[in-house]
Amino acid sequence: MEKIAIKLNIANRIYPMKIDRNSEEYVRKAIKNVAERLKFYESNYAIKDKQDLLAMCLIEYASKLETLEKNDTIDSEQKESLIKIEDMLDAVL
């Protein structure tokens, strides 16, 4: 598969990544979702440190992945997307 270089803005930091071209849409959507969750946590909790907010997002997404894996109701495409989100969050932390 062809790899492309992209730059992702997560919590006001730029992260360069190389991804499969056909994954770009999923990665960008995942980053948008993370940004929305960061805003949610920032506005609903008295936490301003971006690393703490990212950790909360990571816990949320990882627990959702664990729940889905345990229930075994996830298809391979959804699982791949969640694993990519988890990998990106792991890279940030």
Residue with tokens 């995942």: 30
Average pLDDT over residues 25-46: 92
Indicate the pLDDT class of residue 72, thresholds 50, 70 and 90: low
Residue at 91: amino acid letter: A
Predicted confidence (pLDDT) at residue 73 exceeds the cutoff of 70? no
Could you give the CA distance from residue 38 to residue 34 in angstroms, rounded to a whole number? 6
Indicate the pLDDT class of residue 5, thresholds 50, 70 and 90: very high
**DSSP string covering 6-38:** EEEEETTEEEEEEEEGGGHHHHHHHHHHHHHHH
Q: Are 58 and 38 in contact (CB under 8 A)?
A: no
Q: What pLDDT score was predicted for residue 29?
A: 93
pLDDT of 40-67, one tens digit each? 999 999 888 989 999 999 999 899 888 8
